[in-house]
Amino acid sequence: MADFYQKTSFDAAIKHWTPDIYEEIRGIADGAGQPFNDVMVFSLLDEFWVYQDNLENHHCSGVGVPARDGQPGYIAQNMDIEAYTDGYQVLLRIARSGNRPEQLILTHPGCIALNGMNEAGIGACMNTLMQLKASTTGLPVAFIVRHMLGSTNRDEVLRFIQNVPHASGQNYIIGIRDEVYDFEASANKVVRFDPKNENGTVYHTNHPLVNDDVKPWFKKFDPTVKEEEKPVKSNSFVRLAAVQRRVVPSGFITDATIMAALRSKDDDKFPVCVAANQWGLTFGSVIMTLSGKPFLQITSGPPDESEYKRVEFSER
């Protein structure tokens, strides 16, 4: 870990963009009686993966569905992370305070956020894009998430995600009440992914679909390379095809449609729903309903092993 900190410098960006979150981590460290850097690294999950440069460690699958024909807007995700986190699933409720809305955040102890939503119907799901260029001085993913979830302003959220300096290659599926957006972010550019589906759905796994700011050693994942040269039988490509098959043809998408996609195991080797294995598992599955009166549905562990539990925001 010392080498990781020696080669990165995120503090300045964190203090500039999210100074309150920086102090929150200091408070966690003080309260737990642990070194600050040891606690900080729990919230640098993607940045540590980038440092490791290991494609095999990234398996999240996400979906976004805009409101349509009387159905609400949804964003959803299987959060797939390391096995050591199993049993430590936490749904964090951050109380509203002043202009800050109430938030529901999936995480584990010590980490400020994995994904989440707020009571204003703004939510965010993420997928690591290891292949995209990173920055050792940008703003880390978890801090970007917390900043967005602390806002109730649509335009501010969209400006922020497209202009903040990004530390890690990452895909963001952002739901803003009835609307859904997808952005692939790298150190040098942010590109919107819009597949122009008739039902407006977006979907993503762990390789870039539109952003060509790719590291030289991951050139085969560049969206601009010829189709026959892409690793279409690799984990991320196989899962993307599985999710796409389930949400694109469905003209009328409900939360049940999304649950079926997130529980799917169409491919034995590379399933969307990941059972516990040597590397990790689907730590939790989340479906966020963003229109009307927002609420969240969540599982602890793989969604094919448990029912989704509905969690609502507190009354004002």
Handedness of CA 182, 153, 157, 140 (dihedral sign): negative
The CA distance from 194 to 20, in Å, is 33
- Locate 152 and state its tokens: 């109730």
pLDDT digits (tens, 9 = 90+) for 99-124: 999 999 999 999 999 999 999 999 99
- Give the pTM: 0.96
Please identify which residue in the block is written with the tokens 């806002």.
Answer: 151
Q: What is residue 85's predicted lDDT score, i.e. its pLDDT?
A: 94
Domains in the chain (CATH in brackets) are: 2-312 (3.60.60.10)
pLDDT band at 290 (very low <50, low <70, confident <90, very high): very high
pLDDT band at 249 (very low <50, low <70, confident <90, very high): confident
Q: What is residue 113's predicted lDDT score, i.e. its pLDDT?
A: 98
Handedness of CA 200, 170, 123, 277 (dihedral sign): positive
The CA distance from 59 to 269, in Å, is 12
Burial code (b: 16+ CB inside 10 Å, e: under 16) for 32-63 equals eeeeeeebbbbbbbbbbbbbeeebebbbbbbb
- Locate 161 and state its tokens: 């995600």
Q: What is residue 143's predicted lDDT score, i.e. its pLDDT?
A: 98
pLDDT band at 69 (very low <50, low <70, confident <90, very high): confident
| Whether 61 contacts 115, CB under 8 Å | no
pLDDT digits (tens, 9 = 90+) for 177-188: 999 999 999 999
Query: Average pLDDT, whole number, for the chain?
Result: 95
pLDDT digits (tens, 9 = 90+) for 221-233: 999 999 999 999 9
